[in-house]
Chains A and B, each alone.
Chain A
Amino acid sequence: MKIIGLFIVILTGALLVYATVDFPPWGDPASPASTHLSPHYIEKSMEETSVPNIVTAVLADYRGFDTMFETAVIFAAGVACFFILRALRREGPEQRLYRHTLTDMTIRIKDASKISADLDEFERIDTLWTPRDLIVTTVCRLLIPFIQLFALYVIAHGHHSPGGGFQGGVILGASFILLAISHDLRTTLKRMREKMNGLLCATGVFIYAGTGALCLLFGFNFLDYSALASILHVDPVTARSHGILIVEIGVGIAVMATMIWIYNNLASSGKYDEGL
């Protein structure tokens, strides 16, 4: 079976390599892809949307419908992870580890439901992941604000430089994941609760689809941002630029929440208790 599989893979690979011979050369202006629509985008996107970065203009304005469902796919991925992995019922007694903060002594409690005394002097630690480095935690704590600031810059500056909602959202989510890795999962969950996370995930998609629906209400096409000119008090061209920004913020929120959501479910295997 393995030999047949290998044979098929090699055959398909050889056919694909053979097919690349027919490709137009790299950056060929006469290739079919760059003779029909691309000239319009390259020449007109600045005067139609006032966005210097053509990629952003195409992604969020000309192909806005496409990007909306990309965001919906990411939302669906988060929801799927939640439904597959989340363990809502807790079974059996679980053991917990606590560290006395003053003496660094660790105690183990076999049945967590029996804890009744208040454990102010004790700090809970994970049973699977115990090492905790002062240098790593401090460096990550200092770095995370800058990572988040950069993520916001990437979202807001997508009009002028590479970047946008997807990349910025991923970096913003990664900063929370870094917090979970360097400290523990509970630290992240204190800052971003599960309910909040799911709500933000849906809010992002809602902002995107809502902007499109708002355009419909004004009698324009779905996701034709020039309809927003009357609310934003700007001319239709600038309104398209602002519409792209609104949509990018929605994408950023959705992607950020989804990344944290997937990570929380994966790392704690659905228990939201202890994780990587």
Chain B
Amino acid sequence: MIWQLDLAILTLVVITGIGAIMVKDLLGAAILFGAYSFMMCLLWSIMGAVDVSFTEASVGAGVSAVFFVAAVFRTTRRTKD
């Protein structure tokens, strides 16, 4: 585990996590959530949990981002609050 890399990815996790809930554009929030998942996937693989990382990459960053985009496509792109 390289601590510089760890710190950089952890910072990005926090930034994308806060960004995903602050952004008004829901499509942007979906993409930020995908980025967050991908950063978590990198973190898992740094910690040696390759199976978890694989699941996170395929489910979190892949399919659930597509589900969010599909849901945004069928509803609205702006949040009310």
- Chain A contact residues, CB within 8 Å of chain B: 26-27, 53, 55-56, 59, 128, 162-164, 166-167, 170-171, 173-174, 177, 181, 259, 262-263, 266-267, 269, 275-276
Task: State whether B71 touches A166 (Cβ < 8 A).
Answer: no
Residues of A within 8 A of B70 (CB): 263, 266-267, 275-276
Counting contact residues on chain B (CB < 8 A from A), the size range is 10 to 19
Task: State whether B73 touches A170 (Cβ < 8 A).
Answer: no
**Whole-angstrom distance from the CB of B17 to the nearest CB of chain A?**
12
Interface SS of A by simple majority: helix
Extra inter-chain contacts (18) besides given A162-B51, A163-B54, CB under 8 Å: A26-B1, A27-B48, A162-B50, A162-B53, A162-B54, A163-B51, A167-B54, A167-B59, A170-B63, A171-B58, A171-B62, A174-B66, A177-B66, A266-B67, A266-B70, A266-B74, A275-B70, A276-B70
11 A-B pairs with C-beta separation under 8 A = A164-B51, A166-B59, A170-B62, A171-B62, A174-B62, A174-B63, A177-B63, A181-B66, A263-B66, A267-B74, A276-B69
With A26-B1, A55-B51, A276-B73 known as contacts, the answer to whether A170 contacts B58 (CB < 8 A) is yes
Q: How many A-B contacts if CB must be within 8 Å? A: 55
Interface SS of B by simple majority: helix
With most chain B CB atoms within 10 A of its CB, the pick from A173, A259, A262, A266 is: A266
| Least CB separation from A171: chain B residue | B58
Residues of B within 8 A of A53 (CB): 51
CA distance A18 to B34 in the complex (A): 28
| Least CB separation from A2: chain B residue | B81
CA distance A276 to B73 in the complex (A): 7
Residues of A within 8 A of B50 (CB): 162
A170's partner among B1, B48, B59, B69 (CB-CB below 8 A) is B59
Task: State whether B63 touches A173 (Cβ < 8 A).
Answer: yes
B11 adjacent to chain A (CB < 8 Å) = no
Residues of B within 8 A of A26 (CB): 1, 47
A263's partner among B48, B59, B67 (CB-CB below 8 A) is B67
**Whole-angstrom distance from the CB of A172 to the nearest CB of chain B?**
10
Residues of B within 8 A of A56 (CB): 51
Residues of B within 8 A of A267 (CB): 70, 73-74
**Whole-angstrom distance from the CB of B42 to the nearest CB of chain A?**
15
**Whole-angstrom distance from the CB of A167 to the nearest CB of chain B?**
5
B55 adjacent to chain A (CB < 8 Å) = yes
- Interface positions, chain B 21-61, Cβ under 8 Å from A, are 47-48, 50-51, 53-55, 58-59
Task: State whether A262 touches B67 (Cβ < 8 A).
Answer: yes
